[in-house]
Amino acid sequence: MKGITIKSNNFNGKSVEITFNPFSGGTINLGTQTIPYDYISTNYEGVYSIYIAEFNKTCPLIVGNPPTPTPTSSSTPTATPTPTATYTPTPTTSETVFDSDAAAYLADVIASGGTTNPTISAATNTLFTSLKSNGLYSKMIVMYPFVGGTASSHAINANLNKTYDITWNGGMTHDISGSTGNASNGYGNTNFTTQDYTSMQFSSFGLYINGGDINANGLHGGFFGGNDGLLLGANDGNQIGWRHGQFNGTSKTSNGGVLTGNFISIRTGITQSDLYKNSVNIDTLVVPPQSTYNIPFYLFAANVFNIFTDNYSNDRLSFAFLANNLTYSEVPILSTIINTFQTSLGRNTYWYARNKN
C-alpha cells in the first residue's frame, strides 16, 4: 500500500485539519489529525490543505505532479502513459517559519490551561524573533510574558527552564491583561536567586507594570542581606523606590512619576546601577559591589532575608524578566521590543496614568 507522511519542522505534535483534493478529482476531508500523520492510499497525489487552528495558519502541500492536459488535435494520438512512482514520498509542509521556541512556549501555555488566539500567537512570535535578531534572547535567564489568562500559564518561564516557573501564593488575580496582586498576601516566587546570575555586577531585571494603586507601597524583589537587594516598588504615593545592589536606604525619585510603565534596572560594573522607565534613564545609584545570596526574587512582594514576606503589592504585571550582561545601548532596544509586544496585545501602558481612586 502506498501513501505519504505529513510532518513539519515546527508543528509536529499539533492538531490540524486536513482537506485533500486529489489530482484525479473530488475532495476528501481527512478530518482532524495530529502530525506527523500517515495517509495510506494509492490515490495520494494532489493538493493538501493543512489548517493549524492554534496559529490560524493554513499550509498548502502539493504531492506529485498535476496530470498534463490532453492536447486538442484532429488526429487521435496514442497517449504515452505517465510513469507512476514506486516509492513512498515523505514531504514536509511548506509554511511561513514560526519560531520554534515561541511555538514551544505557546504549546506550554495551552497545555497549562491558558488560551491563545492568532493575535497572541503573532505577537509572541514577533517577541521571540525580535529578541533573537537583536542578540537579546540568550541574555534572558527568565522571562514571563503573562500570556494565557490563567495562573498556570502566567507562571511559565518562556525560556521553558521549568526551574524558574513562578510559584503563586496567597490571593492573586489572573486575566488577559496580566497578573495582579492583592496588597495583603498574594505574591509569586520566581525561584530565581542572585546566585543564578553569571555575575551580579552585570545583572538586569525588568517589570512591565500596567495597573495598580498609586497609594500602595508595594515592592517586587528581595532583601538579600544587610542593605543588599534587588527591589522595585512604590514609595510615598507617587515616588519610585528601587535598589539594585548594596545601598544604605532605598533611592527615591519623583522624576519617574508613578509606578506604571516599562522599567528596566541594569548594572554594568561594580559601582553603578541605573533605572530606566520607558527607555529613559530616570535614576542612578552609586553602590558598593553586590554580593550574591540564595534568596529567591519575588513578584508582588519583598522576600526579606528568606525569613518572611512583606510589602505586598497590588500592581498588575504583564511582563517580567531577569537577564545577564545587558548593555546600556541594548536597554532602549529591549524596552521597544517589550512595548511592541504589549501594544500588539492591547496592554500598552506608555500612555496610561494610574489614578488615586
CATH number at residue 11: 2.60.40
Using CA atoms in the order 278, 145, 176, 341, what is the torsion angle rounded to 10 degrees? Answer: 50
Q: Which of 268-272, 304-308, 353-357 shows the highest mean pLDDT? A: 304-308
Distance CA 154, CA 176 (A): 10
Residue with cell 489529525: 33
pLDDT tens, 198-217? Answer: 888 889 999 999 887 655 66
Asked whether the beta carbons of 27 and 20 are under 8 A apart, the reply is yes
Q: Which of 59-63, 165-169, 340-344 shows the highest mean pLDDT? A: 165-169
Domain count, the chain: 2
> Hey, what amino acid is at 82?
T
CATH number at residue 152: 2.60.120.200
Helix segments in the chain, DSSP class H: 100-111, 118-133, 151-154, 330-344
Same domain, 161 and 306: yes
Asked whether the beta carbons of 212 and 259 are under 8 A apart, the reply is yes
Same domain, 111 and 82: no
- Would the pLDDT of 150 be above 80? yes
Question: Mean pLDDT, the chain, as a whole number?
Answer: 80
> Hey, what amino acid is at 265?
S
Domain boundary among 74, 97, 120: 97
Same domain, 34 and 179: no
Percent of residues, the chain, with pLDDT higher than 90: 38
Same domain, 82 and 40: yes
Same domain, 133 and 122: yes
Would you give the DSSP letter of residue 206? Answer: E
Is 352 domain-assigned? no
- Would the pLDDT of 89 be above 50? no
Domain boundary among 97, 113, 131: 97
pLDDT tens, 96-120? Answer: 468 889 989 999 999 999 999 889 9
pLDDT tens, 152-174? Answer: 999 999 999 999 999 999 999 99
Q: Which domain holds residue 73?
A: 1-97
Distances (CA, A) of 355 to 7, 184, 219, 253, 260: 52, 20, 19, 19, 11
Is 354 domain-assigned? no
The C-alpha cell of 258 is what? 508613578
For 31, the 3-state DSSP assignment is: strand
Same domain, 124 and 255: yes
Is 350 domain-assigned? no
Is 216 domain-assigned? yes
Is 357 domain-assigned? no
Same domain, 271 and 129: yes
Phi-psi region at 268: left, alpha or beta (left = phi > 0; alpha = psi -120 to 50): alpha
Same domain, 180 and 283: yes
Same domain, 32 and 70: yes
